[in-house]
Amino acid sequence: MARSRDNARNVLGTPLEVCGNDPVTGFYRNGCCDTGQEDAGMHVVCAVMTEEFLKFSRQRGNDLITPRPGFAGLHAGDPWCLCAMRWLEAYRAGMAPPVLLTATHENALKVVPMEALETHALDRHVDA
């Protein structure tokens, strides 16, 4: 079972949950949107791919669709840890894919406003 590397927290302040294992995602390929010094792109937003976002990303120079050695390519419905800046760029363009707040690393909030993430959340946060 995949685990967060350093008992990381999500944007809700609870333990970071797994984003996806089929395909295995995350900068460290542990299924979680962990981050660290090596992750200059901050791959911290757990998003569920859409056709629109995949095309948008390819147009911006990051082809997540085309298979290549060690990477099978992504399809609509696949969960994937995205760079916070790319997700924010897509959000501003009206192309952001939905996110899983429980699997989005708290460092995403250094780049993306919580309100933006909440508008695209598949797992809506409700205050008790």
* Number of domains composing the chain: 1
- Residue 55: what residue type? K
Residue 125, Cβ density class (10 Å: 0-12 exposed, 13-18 middle, ≥19 buried): middle
pLDDT tens readout for residues 10-31:
999 999 999 999 999 999 999 9
Residue 4 has pLDDT above 80, yes or no: no
**How long is the chain?**
128
Task: Examine the pLDDT at 51 and tell me if it is beyond 60.
Answer: yes
Contact by Cβ (8 Å): 45, 87:
yes
CATH of the domain at 56: 3.30.56.110
Q: Name the average pLDDT for the chain.
A: 93
Query: Distance (Å, rounded) from C-alpha 70 to C-alpha 10?
Result: 28
At 7, the pLDDT band (50, 70, 90 cuts) reads confident
Mean pLDDT across 87-95: 97
Full residue range of the structural domain in which residue 51 is found: 1-128
